[in-house]
Chains A and B, each alone.
Chain A
């Protein structure tokens, strides 16, 4: 195994600051490994030559005061990057070159990060397996037949396959946590409003949130600290006091109260997941924290609520793709015909399905029955969490109801695909932060994750709990580099 690419972000930063490694050496190592990893299909766009020249430039005049000096980073292709193609995994944006930069990526470059390339994802982040991408599915480094999860599947594969030391994804209903769980990596979905949405291709604006994905909790904390800033360009960006997450990170969680929601014991959940959860509960106790049984009674209504609200917002957000201002255009006999053909040919089946669901639930005569109803149930779901947090500091659950499934296994039945997000969706509806950490393997040797859900804007506490559990679990990913050419 390549010694540079197997180092954590925190170690790489230390080695660059101590001049044991140059930015060029690190960047070269990740480019070489990425070049040999084409079989994973993790990248949509590579920016290697620019990355190398930026690394050389950094080495000529290094600034070691930066948080991630000269560190190469590949990001999900949902973040607009100035002058670098940004596709959102869609044909309709397959030729789109932004003339501006997303706030989250700009924050990374400001702290010394260098763009390696843009990572594959489900089309417009709509999917749980990375199979809806126009640029093809991504393979899970765990096993060639497995999906990496989605929608941040390219990001998860790139982290677990060591093609980038750290990455960012976006999470609307589980798109960071579920792929992290499927690939044995760590993924944080921050509180709604913690990271700016400016320059992120919009899916469902009241749910979308960017977050870090990494090999460890420590690395996650460092990247979250960098990307979370108040941004006047996003009207939902929250102006709150932000912790120095990586510096304040501690495993001291004695006396913390951790809730176990009984409603997450869903029918048909494999015994292995139940066992993993129990193991997690034991680790929490080992850390000196207290376990408290709680109830989140509206949990079973979260997915149906999500599948009204997310498509409704998506149908509105995706109205902008009309073949006029940017992106793919199809020829039409007249203006309307051009719109219809452009959208029919430019969007994939899952995206079209969601636009049509969204248009339906917002249409006259159905708005009250579906959209308004869903917003009311969303309130009940949030109330559940508000009640629970009167008694506990955080909640622990499995991240997903199963380990990674096979490529093609769930593509024909949309509802079975949606059920993947059963444990992650409530968090987005309530706007809370949550992290998935790898916690064990199933009998097939595939990784399983535990999810810790925190209080709004209490990312520090959430990360501390994850940091303490991570040490107890001492997870080792079983990756054999089968794809390396």
Chain B
């Protein structure tokens, strides 16, 4: 086994996804079969290979740092799941 149940629970926590015992067990089975398949990469020697981080062979362009969107607060707030005309609302974080 490559990944155990305890690790799955820890990674789920890091991912901010709550999982119950049954789901965690199912994930352990699935991820182990996926990682068995991924382990194939270990056949390859890659010590002297440069990692490929982007296939876009372009030089990033410079542009002036100017504000392009004005007065869009209402638009931004519009899709917020908790109604409030001025702010995003979250459960209380400071006692």
Contact = CB atoms under 8 A, between A and B. Distances in A.
Contacts of B78: 97, 99
A356 B80 CA distance: 26
Given A334-B91, A363-B11, A380-B46, A206 B54 contact: yes
Interface in A264-290: none
Contacts of A344: 17-19
Given A356-B15, A377-B44, A379-B50, A324 B88 contact: yes
Question: How many residues of B sit at the interface, in one of the four size bands?
Answer: 35 or more
Given A307-B38, A327-B79, A232 B63 contact: yes
A359 B55 contact: no
A315 interface: yes
B17 A356 contact: yes
A297 to B, nearest CB: 10
Contacts of B67: none
Contacts of B31: 353, 356-357, 360
B61 interface: yes
Given A307-B37, A370-B38, A380 B79 contact: no
Interface stretch (A124-132, A143-151, A298-306): A298-306
Nearest to B14: A359
B51 A378 contact: yes
A376 B91 contact: no
Contacts of A315: 15
A377 B3 contact: no
Contacts of A363: 11, 14
B1 interface: no
A376 B38 contact: no
A192 B46 contact: no
B85 to A, nearest CB: 15
Interface of B: 3, 7-8, 11-12, 14-19, 27, 30-31, 33-34, 37-42, 44, 46, 49-58, 60-61, 63, 72, 75-76, 78-82, 88, 90-93
Interface of A: 95-97, 99, 192-193, 206, 232, 235-236, 238-239, 298, 300-301, 303-305, 307-308, 315, 319, 322-329, 332-341, 343-344, 347, 352-353, 355-357, 359-360, 363, 370, 372-380, 382, 413-415, 418, 429-431, 456
25 contacts: A95-B81, A97-B79, A99-B72, A192-B55, A236-B58, A300-B40, A304-B38, A304-B39, A326-B79, A326-B81, A327-B81, A329-B81, A334-B93, A340-B16, A340-B17, A352-B17, A353-B27, A356-B17, A373-B46, A378-B52, A379-B50, A380-B46, A382-B52, A430-B55, A456-B57
